[in-house]
Structure 1
Amino acid sequence: MKQKITLKKIAKEFGVSISTVSKALKDSHEISSEVKEKIQAFAKYYHYKPNSLALNLRNQKTKTIGVIIPEIVHHFFTKVITGIEKLANDKGYNVMICLSNESYEKEVLNLDMLANGVVDGIIASVAKETEAKEDYRHFTELINNGIPLVMFDRVVDEIECNKVIADDKGGAFLATEQLIKNGCSNIALVTTPDYVTVGLERKEGYLKALNEFKIPSNEELVVTIDDQKSVDEQLTVLFEGNMVPDGIFAVNEIYAATVMKVARKFGYSVPEDIEVIGFTDGLISEFASPSLTTVAQHGRTMGQKALELLLDEIDSQDIQYQHKTHLIQTDLKIRNSTKKVQLQN
């Protein structure tokens, strides 16, 4: 059975641009007869069927960028969109935003719609259900059709595209280190299932800090939230167990704010009895009571960098274009849910 052939594969086979392949298949006078005959024969042998919508997208810019985000409730994604839109407007582009609602099927539909000649390129953060299924064929097909893609925050290593990620592991290490240096010894982790890439990275940062400070990890102090609708109930295990934590690191600000609420129900004060640190410096962190010490992942900067990489690929004519992974550094923003104001030297 012959392999599925695409414009991109034909271009690589002959060392020419995708545009040249497209013109050759259209019998354009701009391409030499020798090159046209070779490309047409190769395409015929592999039963190439042109995707007219993808060709149109490559040859005629819409000056529109598509963005797919998993959810809108997280302030982080709002910041990313702000960064994208500001730079896009400066560059004369419009932005079309789609919401996957953490659904694999919705993500596929969004991607199909945007790739249908509507946008020049796509910026996306992968839905949790897609990560759980480990089915990324819709992204692979998009790239095979020559449509530029940038993944941000939640990315897939196997997909060959530009990526922008936060230093999730480093940020989690900073948060856990802060709790340790504040005198906490029973430090709990509130995290996502391991198939969520950013949650797994933050868990690894937490474990790394415990290891470096020679604090044994304890499975009883790790709570994995597997049902977003009952976070309160799942967190009660931290306060009903034999070992009540004196410090808690949560992998997002919603979990951290909920931790503080549940702790108060059990009669604990934050930060006097339990210190809490979250991840993502959003409105919840700022206006929680007490205000939440958190890891800032700089969503606006991430959005700007994602668009920079996307426009760079859109404008590139290099068929050997080298994709990049850009790491956004994180830092700790100290507020009132922890006792100390600075790390000790």
Structure 2
Amino acid sequence: IEKYANAKGYNVIVCVSDESFDKEVINMELLANGSIDGFIMALSAGTQLKNDYNHLKEVTAQGIPLVLFDRVTPEIKCDKVVIDDKKGAYNAVTTFIREGRKRIALITTKDYFSVSRDRAAGYREALLDNGLEINEDLILEFPSMEVDEKGIEEFFKHHKVDAVLSVNEIFAIHSMRFVQSLGIKIPEDISFIGFTDGLLSKYSTPGLTAVAQHGEDMGKIAAEMLIEKVENDAEEETYTTKVLEPTLIVRGSTGN
């Protein structure tokens, strides 16, 4: 975002919500007083949990352009940039099945997270399309993106699985570390795929096969969309949702 915006002569103010609805609202109120030209944002966990988007509606009602990326909502009319999370999960599960895996677990969060909801849908659809039953016992669901190490450990102690899809790389890395402590070999005994493809995925042992979200591309497109809105006052507003294709980056946590 910043790289593209700076090249176009714009400065970027970065605010972190810490997944808090209240902090997200305060940040937007402070900035919407005329000091900024527009907003680019991913919705906080707190906002998605409350399902309260009035602060966003107030901003757009003032004529301030808004672009949502990654975590979005259909409640707000604005430009959006997302990855096809459902397709990314579907492709990951299909990869497991091609390896011969049959007991495929999902580590996810409550479905008020738009990304978790879509990834879980892709997981379920891929199982059904390949003739495998959905076993709810193999779905580990946490209330937030915070790592629950004890929850992960208890899950793997009591459930025999041969593949794991994780909605983020942090859940995946903690899971890999724990199963390795039990003497389970990756990928011989169990395969792992996680979303995001950040530094943890690259430097874990073995490297984590990941669904890349193309964050840099997403940021550039979001900045392009916002600057286009800022510099071109259209009489009639039109909004676009750009959907990026997910890419599976294969590393050592899956078989050949």
Give the structure-2-normalised TM-score: 0.97
Q: CA deviation at 1:240?
A: 2.5
**Who is 1:305 aligned against?**
221
Structure 2 matches for 1:32-111, cutoff 5 A?
84-111=1-28
Contact 1:270 1:337 survives alignment (8 Å): yes
User: How far did residue 86 of structure 1 move?
Assistant: 1.2
Question: CA offsets per residue over residues 126-175 of structure 1, 9 Å max, x none?
Answer: 00011000011000000000000000000011101110001100111111
Do structure 1's residue 326 and structure 2's residue 242 form an aligned pair? yes
Q: Distance in 1 between matches of 2:148 and 2:108?
A: 11
Question: Which structure 2 residues correspond to residues 1-345 of structure 1 after superposition, within 5 A?
Answer: 84-226=1-143, 228-241=145-158, 243-340=159-256
Please tell me the residue identity of whatever aligns with 2:64: I
Q: Distance in 1 between matches of 2:197 and 2:144?
A: 23
Q: Distance in 2 between matches of 1:86 and 1:227?
A: 31
Q: Structure 2: how far apart are the matches of 1:321 and 1:228?
A: 35
Cα distance, 1:227–1:197 mapped onto 2, change above 3 Å: closer
User: Counterparts of 2:137 and 2:153 in 1: how far apart (Å)?
Assistant: 12
- Any idea what the Cα deviations from partners look like across 1:27-72, whole Å, max 9, x if unmatched? xxxxxxxxxxxxxxxxxxxxxxxxxxxxxxxxxxxxxxxxxxxxxx
Residues 209, 250 of structure 2: 8 Å contact kept = yes
Q: Are the aligned partners of 1:238 and 1:245 in contact in 2 as well (CA < 8 Å)?
A: no
The runs of 5 or more residues in structure 1 that have no matched partner are: 1-83, 341-345
Q: Find the aligned partners of 2:27 and 2:156 in 1 and give their Cα distance.
A: 41
Counterpart of 2:57 in 1: which secondary structure?
helix
Q: Which of the pair has the greater relative contact order for Cα pairs under 8 Å at 6+ separation? A: 2
How far does residue 176 in structure 1 lie from its aligned partner after superposition?
0.6
2: CA distance between counterparts of 1:246 and 1:178? 13
Question: 1: distance between equivalents of 2:147 and 2:93?
Answer: 25
Query: Quick check: 1:313–1:321 contact (8 Å CA) kept in 2?
Result: no
The 3-state SS of whatever aligns with 1:99 is coil
For these two proteins, the number of residue pairs brought into alignment is: 256
Tell me which structure has the larger Cα radius of gyration.
Answer: 1
Flag the 1:326–1:228 CA change in 2: closer, same or farther, 3 A.
closer
For the residue of structure 2 that corresponds to 1:163, the secondary structure is strand
Q: 2: CA distance between counterparts of 1:302 and 1:232?
A: 31
- Separation in 2, partners of 1:121, 1:142: 9
Q: Distance in 2 between matches of 1:290 and 1:189?
A: 19
Q: What percent identity do the matched residue pairs reach?
A: 42
Tell me the CA shift for residue 230 of structure 1. Answer: 4.8
Deviation, structure 1 residue 275:
0.5
- Deviations 1:204-255, CA, capped at 9 Å, x for gaps: 01111101101001011000122555521111233222x4110000011111
Structure 2: gaps of 5 or more residues: none
* Counterpart amino acid of residue 193 in structure 1: K
Contact 2:71 2:115 in 1 (8 A): yes
Tell me the C-alpha RMSD between the 2 structures: 1.1
Distance 1:223 1:310 in 2: 37
Q: Contact conserved, 1:167 with 1:327, CA < 8 A, in 2?
A: yes
Residues in 2 aligned to 1:129 and 1:90: alpha-carbon distance in whole angstroms: 33
Write out the 4+ residue segments of structure 1 that deviate beyond 2 Å after TM superposition.
Answer: 227-230
